[in-house]
Amino acid sequence: MKPEVTVKPGSEGSKAKYWITEHYKYVATTTHDPENLPLVIERGEGVWIYDVDGNRYLDFSSGISVCNLGYPTHPEVKKAVIEQLEKLAHGAGTDFFNPYQVELARKLASIAPGGLHRKVFYSNSGTEANEAAFKLVRQATGRKFIIAFYGGFHGRTMGSLAATASKNVHKKGVFPWMPGVIHVPYPNPYRNTWHIDGYENPDELVNRVVEFIEEYVFDKLVPPDEVAAFIFEPIQGEGGYVIPPRGFFTELRRLADKHGVVLIDDEVQMGLGRTGRMFAIEHFNTIPEVLTLAKALGGGVMPIGATIFRADLDFKQPGVHSNTYGGHALACAAALKTIEVTERLIPRVVELEKVFRDELLTLRDTIEKVGDVRGIGLAWGVEFVVDKRSKRPDVTARNRVVKTSLERGLVLLPCGKSSVRLIPPLIISEEEAKLGLSIFREAVREATT
Ligand SMILES: Cc1ncc(COP(=O)(O)O)c(C=O)c1O
């Protein structure tokens, strides 16, 4: 199968144009970009998306890493959901018990790194999973401060928003958010305040970040014994698909252990097989006390968030934290099957990494405006710059690449200031991956020359 775009997306007179206009009359403003991404989806099938004008696109977005098993979902997840729907969907899982949430929690605890006794708090989204993590660590440690990283994204509700620092628009006009969050630099190998080439000198970059935390936070800002947790993305998603040096999290773990600080690992975007491991943190040999998941966990069918934590951190009495939909039977059934299917897909993700690496590195080496390429598994970011020497972000070029790709039949999402992410569903075949990459290559050539 090939992409087929016969009606220019969002053009005058198209059905897409009609629905976008109606959308703006009735639906709240969120993150759409109708100029560069005028995609109005009618349906999806596997790795293919069909818009309301009948155009067919190859998907390299996975609905922001939700539809990892393809559209509308994997047949096994569909079957599990239908079977569950015959029995129970909502069973007020935080007030009444049900076996489905226990089965999922047992599974999540067993796949989480470290072999610790863990428990799970259920919610409906990534931001809620992180909110729960903050309440959890504050009440468990009696400490109040949270350290987060520049470039990180953890959600947009008032607690997780406080930790988010990828774009100032997220905070525009809505102060005050949750107090007590302190930001420190993330070891971004391509761009960092010290101008260190973190690919050439990863240890130096890691040391600078650790020194910064010790000297400028623990020494001058707050005593470390008042810090409850670090929250981080093992690979920054929204912030640009930034992969820190491999040694970073073992150093962070060491620092955290020294001061009794908890690690909260936000796996909302990178978790569940996207990087070729179930959790991205597994690439870094580090065991966090708390992991948060959402997005792909629901198999693209059900919204679900999960906060997986070392059991001794649990809330001390009923009512400290709870919600209405937590432990929703249908969401839990979808998630359990999603994990089973994902386990089988992981070897394929590992194999496909090379296909992406080869193609994208060639692109970086041949196109002046491709400043950086980074990725692992099926999580790839490409950063556009005015020129390689200055590294000045080229937002216009990035936007053109997104738009041109769409017009050529490839769906991509932007990230960071001037990057795109290439994150196909994990079910993609090698042939489809190569096809998507060749469209991307042509789109980049067209958009940057
Ligand atoms: C790493 C990370 N954490 C948290 C969130 C927030 O998740 P949600 O949009 O489901 O609230 C996102 C969303 O993109 C994310 O990428």
CA of 46 to the centre of ligand 1 (A): 23
310 shares a domain with 165: yes
Q: Tell me: the pLDDT tens digits for 92-136?
A: 999 999 999 999 999 999 999 999 999 999 999 999 999 999 999
Inside any domain, residue 8: no
Asked if 289 and 306 count as a contact pair (C-beta separation under 8 A), the reply is no
Asked if 405 and 411 count as a contact pair (C-beta separation under 8 A), the reply is yes
372 shares a domain with 236: no
356 shares a domain with 336: no
Q: What is the pLDDT of residue 73?
A: 96
Report the 10 Å Cβ neighbour count for 396.
Answer: 13
pLDDT more than 70, % of the chain: 100
338 shares a domain with 247: yes
Q: Give buried/exposed letters for 74-98 (b at 16+ CB in 10 A, else e).
A: beebbebbeebeeeeeebebbeeeb
Q: 263 by DSSP, 3-state: which?
A: strand
Ligand 1 atom at minimum distance from 152 CA: 1
357 vs 209: CA distance, rounded Å: 28
User: Is 421 a pocket residue for ligand 1 (Cβ < 6 Å)?
Assistant: no
Inside any domain, residue 177: yes
CA of 431 to the centre of ligand 1 (A): 30
Q: Tell me: the pLDDT tens digits for 12-28?
A: 999 999 999 999 999 99
Ligand 1 atom at minimum distance from 236 CA: 1
Residue type, 418: S
178 shares a domain with 35: no
Phi, psi of 160 (to 5 degrees): -70, -30
89 shares a domain with 41: no
377 shares a domain with 245: no
User: Is 155 a pocket residue for ligand 1 (Cβ < 6 Å)?
Assistant: yes
Inside any domain, residue 306: yes
Is residue 153 predicted with pLDDT exceeding 90? yes
Asked if 98 and 88 count as a contact pair (C-beta separation under 8 A), the reply is yes
Q: How many domains does the chain have?
A: 2
Ligand 1 atom at minimum distance from 237 CA: 16
Ligand 1 atom at minimum distance from 127 CA: 11
Domain end marker among 342, 367, 396: 342
Inside any domain, residue 2: no
Name which residue sits closest to atom 16 of ligand 1, judged by CA: 269
Q: Give buried/exposed letters for 258-288 (b at 16+ CB in 10 A, else e).
A: eeebbbbbbbbbbbbbbbbbbbbbbbbebbb
Q: What is the pLDDT of residue 273?
A: 98
* Contacting residues for 341 by C-beta, under 8 A, at least 6 apart: 69, 74, 76, 77, 299
Inside any domain, residue 5: no
User: Is 269 a pocket residue for ligand 1 (Cβ < 6 Å)?
Assistant: yes
Name which residue sits closest to atom 7 of ligand 1, judged by CA: 126
Q: What is the pLDDT of residue 449?
A: 87
CA of 126 to the centre of ligand 1 (A): 5
Q: How many residues does the chain have?
A: 449
322 shares a domain with 253: yes
Question: What domain range includes position 394?
Answer: 15-73+345-448
Name the one residue in this structure whose structure tokens are 């009359």: 25
Give me the mean pLDDT over the 332-359 stretch. 98
Inside any domain, residue 327: yes
User: Is 238 a pocket residue for ligand 1 (Cβ < 6 Å)?
Assistant: yes
Q: Residue 263 corresponds to which tokens in the numbers above?
A: 């690690």
Name which residue sits closest to atom 4 of ligand 1, judged by CA: 154
User: Is 151 a pocket residue for ligand 1 (Cβ < 6 Å)?
Assistant: no
* CATH number of the domain that residue 118 is part of: 3.40.640.10
334 shares a domain with 276: yes
User: Is 237 a pocket residue for ligand 1 (Cβ < 6 Å)?
Assistant: yes
Give me the mean pLDDT over the 349-355 stretch. 98
Q: What mean pLDDT value characterizes the chain? A: 98
Residue type, 169: V
CA of 38 to the centre of ligand 1 (A): 22
User: Is 274 a pocket residue for ligand 1 (Cβ < 6 Å)?
Assistant: no
Inside any domain, residue 9: no
118 vs 261: CA distance, rounded Å: 18
116 shares a domain with 234: yes
Ligand 1 atom at minimum distance from 233 CA: 1
pLDDT more than 90, % of the chain: 100
Q: 69 by DSSP, 3-state: which?
A: coil
**How many CA atoms are closer than 13 Å to the CA of 277, on its beta-carbon side?**
14
User: Is 268 a pocket residue for ligand 1 (Cβ < 6 Å)?
Assistant: yes
Inside any domain, residue 196: yes
* CATH number of the domain that residue 370 is part of: 3.90.1150.10
54 shares a domain with 180: no
Q: What is the pLDDT of residue 337?
A: 98
Angle (nearest 5°) at CA 199 between 61 and 389? 85
Ligand 1 atom at minimum distance from 125 CA: 10
Domain end marker among 342, 357, 374: 342
Domain end marker among 342, 362, 380: 342
Give me the mean pLDDT over the 244-260 stretch. 98
417 shares a domain with 351: yes
